[in-house]
């Protein structure tokens, strides 16, 4: 950055709070949530929502579990006024859900706001006026007393109007741009408003302290909230509400610390939509709590449905790296990450603790309606662990650990050539081509166990086999005797075809996906140069699967470049 431009900026002043307590607190319960998607989020859209989209969004918010929803600025917009009437006249507001309307401290605007909520069982009327030094000095050119008088006059009208309606009215006040307001002045005007409304512990007011513009590090916002909570009179008669914006990219952290500092309520939006850089993201806040064992009181177990409605109504897209909700957040491309996730998922299957403990995944994707299918995706950066995970969890092939590096190299070569991410199906297709369908050298036409018995004197099994193997298009009849069918087949290949190899490792298991009657065998051989080659075979007969697996390894060995 240009050093000469730095003189235009100065650090935000800290709060002189030497005995702050919030750093030692933890969040143990969810706040009262208030969605402002239909007001703050809507007014930030290039194309604001129409009535049908607003209704769909409102119904989504209700399904998620919001009990307080700021539905608009009915005194400033006919569409928002009409929408509130649609909600009330159409009986779309369930019991226990309270609509909230925002109004400036002007009589005609307050009266229109009250007209918009007529017929509702309950409503929150949210009064605000600007209090920051910049707003006072530059926009309104008014002193402190004039700003207080403006707010108090609005509060009186709100109280008078509340006495003329059958709707139960709850009061909320925001000193707009709280973070740009001197703390003592913010406290003074809020207490002046409370004096008009006369709240009680049984009927508290909402004092909303918005970071209308995020101007400091999150710890300072927390200090401001703790200072305010400690200094205000009649603290038990107010719910302290937060409304953080994300100008510095720290709204989630600021809100979490401010909750630790004593706040009771949070206003925000789904996925952080809102003016400029957006409001605090309630999805992230709620799921952060969930991962700490705290019930957020919101149902985000079907996150894809939430995303679909949000994107359809707002015409905005959820970023692929968005916490918890992004398309790629449960995906690992890095080889080391894939290997750790693979091992973590395996360990999870074996533990009885019930705790979610998987490296790189702070939440179980299934808890938000995702599946394990997208956890690991394959590209040129992927490693053997990720490839093994795909083969196991997608297709039921539990590749032996020593087989992982070789197949990982095969996939990396394919990915490099492809130049893009490989789908799970492409990974399996590569496995099929490389191991299961590789018959360029040797192909089994028939295999029979002619005789098999147990030699009591030798305490061993003896098997006699006969097979027909196609070698470069020509059929070869081979037979031999061995300790078992596989050993006999190895002897037949050595004696009948002159092959030189050593059987080094053998694994088998029933396939866990697809047909349960099939089994898979994995065999490692060492060729005449002591080089390791793995093969794989699938069949309903495990003996035949092992024969196919051996031929697979031999075919892969035969395909290696000849030494000069």
Set out the domains of the chain in order of their start, with CATH numbers: 26-314 (3.20.20.70), 335-436 (1.10.287.1400), 442-558 (3.30.160.270)
What is the rounded average pLDDT for all residues in the chain? Answer: 90
Mean pLDDT, range 47-55, rounded to an integer: 94
Q: Which residues does 529 contact at the CB level (< 8 Å), separation at least 6?
A: none
Assigned token pair, 404: 């992982």
* CB-CB neighbours of 458 under 10 Å: 9
pLDDT exceeds cutoff 70 at 373 = no
Angle between helices 542-558 and 485-497 (to 10 degrees): 30
Highest mean pLDDT (candidates 343-357, 444-458, 486-500) = 486-500
Q: How far apart are CA 229 and CA 237, in angstroms?
A: 11
Q: How far apart are CA 448 and CA 468, in angstroms?
A: 9
pLDDT exceeds cutoff 60 at 11 = yes
Are 140 and 106 in contact, with CB atoms under 8 Å apart?
no
Q: Could you tell me the pTM of the whole model?
A: 0.72
Mean pLDDT, range 351-374, rounded to an integer: 83
Q: How far apart are CA 180 and CA 131, in angstroms?
A: 8
Burial (Cβ within 10 Å: 0-12, 13-18, ≥19) of residue 122: middle
Angle between helices 107-117 and 78-89 (to 10 degrees): 30
Quickly list DSSP for 62-118.
Answer: HHHT-SEEEEE-TTT-HHHHHHHHHHHHTT-S-TT-EEEEEEES-HHHHHHHHHHHT
Residue 287 Cα distances to 111, 284, 293, 349, 499, angstroms: 39, 5, 10, 24, 60
pLDDT tens-digit map of 81-119: 999 999 999 999 999 999 999 999 999 999 999 999 999
Please state, for a pLDDT cut of 70, what percent of the chain lies above it.
93
pLDDT exceeds cutoff 50 at 564 = no
Assigned token pair, 181: 């307001």
Confidence of residue 77 (pLDDT cuts 50, 70, 90): confident
Confidence of residue 327 (pLDDT cuts 50, 70, 90): confident
Angle between helices 51-64 and 303-314 (to 10 degrees): 160
Mean pLDDT, range 455-473, rounded to an integer: 79
Are 523 and 535 in contact, with CB atoms under 8 Å apart?
yes
Mean pLDDT, range 163-169, rounded to an integer: 96
Are 104 and 129 in contact, with CB atoms under 8 Å apart?
yes
Confidence of residue 413 (pLDDT cuts 50, 70, 90): confident
Which H/E stretch holds residue 526? strand 519-527
Query: In this predicted structure, what is the pLDDT of residue 441?
Result: 83
pLDDT exceeds cutoff 80 at 202 = yes
Query: In this predicted structure, what is the pLDDT of residue 150?
Result: 95
Query: In this predicted structure, what is the pLDDT of residue 5?
Result: 87
* CB-CB neighbours of 233 under 10 Å: 10
Query: In this predicted structure, what is the pLDDT of residue 326?
Result: 87
Low-confidence winner among 146-150, 177-181, 479-483 (lowest mean pLDDT): 479-483
Mean pLDDT, range 342-362, rounded to an integer: 86
Identify the residue with better confidence: 362 or 267. Answer: 267
Name the nearest CA neighbour of 118 among 155, 81, 153: 81
For residues 305-326, one letter each, b for 16 or more C-beta atoms within 10 angstroms of the residue's C-beta and e for the rest, the string is ebbebbeebbebebeeebbbbb
Q: How far apart are CA 390 and CA 548, in angstroms?
A: 23
Name the nearest CA neighbour of 162 among 205, 129, 207: 205
Confidence of residue 459 (pLDDT cuts 50, 70, 90): low
pLDDT exceeds cutoff 90 at 377 = no
Q: Which residues does 380 contact at the CB level (< 8 Å), separation at least 6?
A: 412, 415, 416
pLDDT exceeds cutoff 70 at 290 = yes
Query: In this predicted structure, what is the pLDDT of residue 339?
Result: 78
Mean pLDDT, range 18-23, rounded to an integer: 96
* Dihedral sign, Cα of residue 502, residue 507, residue 510, residue 514: negative
pLDDT exceeds cutoff 70 at 301 = yes
Q: How far apart are CA 559 and CA 62, in angstroms?
A: 62
Identify the residue with better confidence: 85 or 359. Answer: 85
Low-confidence winner among 120-129, 295-304, 388-397, 448-457 (lowest mean pLDDT): 448-457
Tell me the HSE value of 388 on the side-chain side, using a 13 A CA sphere.
Answer: 24
Mean pLDDT, range 410-423, rounded to an integer: 79
List the Cα angle 446/452/456 in 5-degree steps.
160
| CA–centroid distance for 491 within its chain | 55
* Dihedral sign, Cα of residue 382, residue 388, residue 389, residue 394: positive
Residue whose entry in the numeric block shows the structure tokens 């909750």? 259
Q: How far apart are CA 534 and CA 160, in angstroms?
A: 84
| CA–centroid distance for 535 within its chain | 38
Q: How far apart are CA 440 and CA 423, in angstroms?
A: 26
Q: Which residues does 77 contact at the CB level (< 8 Å), separation at least 6?
A: none
Identify the residue with better confidence: 186 or 379. Answer: 186
């Amino acid at each position: 950055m240009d050093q000469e431009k730095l003189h235009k900026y100065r650090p935000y002043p800290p709060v002189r709070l030497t005995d702050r307590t919030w750093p030692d607190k933890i969040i143990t319960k969810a706040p009262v949530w208030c969605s402002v998607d239909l007001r703050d989020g809507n007014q930030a859209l290039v194309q604001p929502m129409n009535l049908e989209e607003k209704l769909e969004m409102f119904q989504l918010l209700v399904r998620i579990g919001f009990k307080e929803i700021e539905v608009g600025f009915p005194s400033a917009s006919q569409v928002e006024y009409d929408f509130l009437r649609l909600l009330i006249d159409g009986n779309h507001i369930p019991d226990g859900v309270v609509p909230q309307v925002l109004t400036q401290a002007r009589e005609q605007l307050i009266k229109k706001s009250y007209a918009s909520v007529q017929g509702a069982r309950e409503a929150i009327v949210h009064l605000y006026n600007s209090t920051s030094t910049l707003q006072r000095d530059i926009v309104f050119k008014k002193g402190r007393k004039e700003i207080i008088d403006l707010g108090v006059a609005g509060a009186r009208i709100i109280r008078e109007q509340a006495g003329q309606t059958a709707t139960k009215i709850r009061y909320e006040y925001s000193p707009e741009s709280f973070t740009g307001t001197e703390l003592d002045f913010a406290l003074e005007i809020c207490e002046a408003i409370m004096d008009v409304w006369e709240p009680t512990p049984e009927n508290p007011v909402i004092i909303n302290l918005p970071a209308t513009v995020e101007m400091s590090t999150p710890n300072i916002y927390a200090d401001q909230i703790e200072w305010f909570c400690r200094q205000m009179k009649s603290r038990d008669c107010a719910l302290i509400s937060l409304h953080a914006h994300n100008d510095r990219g720290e709204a989630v952290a600021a809100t979490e610390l401010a909750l630790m500092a004593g706040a009771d309520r949070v206003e925000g939006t789904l996925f952080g939509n809102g003016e400029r850089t957006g409001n605090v993201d309630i999805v992230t806040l709620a799921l952060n709590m969930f991962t700490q064992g705290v019930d957020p009181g919101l149902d985000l177990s079907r996150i894809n449905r939430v995303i679909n409605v949000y994107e359809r109504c707002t015409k905005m897209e959820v970023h692929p790296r968005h916490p918890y909700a992004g398309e790629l957040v449960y995906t690992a491309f890095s080889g080391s990450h894939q290997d750790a996730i693979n091992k973590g998922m395996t360990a999870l299957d074996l533990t009885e603790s019930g705790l979610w403990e998987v490296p790189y995944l702070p939440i179980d994707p299934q808890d938000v309606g995702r599946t394990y299918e997208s956890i690991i995706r394959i590209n040129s950066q992927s490693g053997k662990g990720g490839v093994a995970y795909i083969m196991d969890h997608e297709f039921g092939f539990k590749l032996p650990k020593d087989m992982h590096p070789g197949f990982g190299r095969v996939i990396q070569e394919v990915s490099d050539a492809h130049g893009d991410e490989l789908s799970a199906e492409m990974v399996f297709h590569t496995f099929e081509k490389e191991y299961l369908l590789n018959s360029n050298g040797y192909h089994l036409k028939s295999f029979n166990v002619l005789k098999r018995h147990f030699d009591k004197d030798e305490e061993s099994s003896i098997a006699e086999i006969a097979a027909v193997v196609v070698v470069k298009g020509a059929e070869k009849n081979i037979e031999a005797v061995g300790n078992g069918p596989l050993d006999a087949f190895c002897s037949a290949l050595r004696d009948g075809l002159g092959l030189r190899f050593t059987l080094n490792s053998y694994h088998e298991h029933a396939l866990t996906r697809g047909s349960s009657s099939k089994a898979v065998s994995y065999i490692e051989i060492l060729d005449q140069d002591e080089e390791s080659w793995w093969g794989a075979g699938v069949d309903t007969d495990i003996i035949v699967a092992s024969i196919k697996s051996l031929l697979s390894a031999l075919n892969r060995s035969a395909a290696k470049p000849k030494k000069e």
